[in-house]
Homo-oligomer: A and B are copies of this chain.
Amino acid sequence: MNDEHFLQLALEQARSGLAEGGIPIGAVLVADDGTVLGAGRNRRLQDGSAIRHGETDALEAAGRLRASVYARSTMYTTLSPCHMCTGAVLLYKIPRLVLGENRNFLGAEDLLRDHGVEVVNLDSEECAAMMRAFIDQNPAVWNEDIGELDARSS
């Protein structure tokens, strides 16, 4: 698997989200033969969605799949996965997750590892810079997306 290549596809999703006025987090689910099963991005702002994060949106785009397909797939995401997206990876027993960065948000990576999921952090400056700029400019929306209290809105 060319991890850098598939991370770029996730980053393209994040950029599309940003262009739509959304939170720039993207993800792609990829089969072991390199087929992109589903691509998605955070849709909180575009769709008013509470459950469409990058990873869950990619899973939804992939549609109904057999366990045997998930078992040979990798989830690529531009940002360390939150508890919900971590749980989705565990539910479907996806054995490998590649993330762009965890400088801006450290998700439940340890929980993935505890369940035997291989977690690879590519520590991408491109991913980190895009997310950092968004958070700096939109702290309230970002806090909402990760379920954190925001001093000005709570």
Which A positions have Cβ atoms within 8 angstroms of B?
Answer: 44, 48-52, 56, 59-60, 62-68, 70-71, 82-88, 90-93, 108, 111, 143-144, 146-150, 153-154
The answer to whether A86 and B87 have CB atoms under 8 Å apart is yes
Copies of this chain, tallied across the complex: 2
Minimum CB–CB distance for A14 against chain B, Å:
19
| Given A87-B82, A91-B147, A93-B147, A154-B64 contact (CB < 8 Å) | no
Minimum Cβ distance to chain B for residue A68 (Å): 4
Check B44–A50 contact: CB distance below 8 A: no
Q: How far is the CB of A114 from chain B (nearest CB, A)?
A: 10
- Knowing A92-B147, A147-B91 are in contact, say whether A64-B50 is a contact too (CB < 8 A): yes
Contact across chains for B68 and A60 when beta carbons are under 8 A apart: no
- Report chain B residues within 8 Å CB of A63: 48, 50
Check A70–B154 contact: CB distance below 8 A.
no
**CB distance B67 to A144 under 8 Å?**
yes
Q: Which residues of B contact A88 (CB under 8 A)?
A: 51, 83-84, 87
A selection of 22 A-B contacts at a CB cut-off of 8 Å is: A49-B64, A51-B52, A51-B60, A51-B88, A56-B56, A64-B144, A66-B150, A66-B154, A67-B144, A82-B91, A83-B88, A83-B91, A84-B88, A84-B90, A85-B87, A86-B87, A87-B87, A87-B88, A87-B90, A91-B146, A92-B147, A93-B147
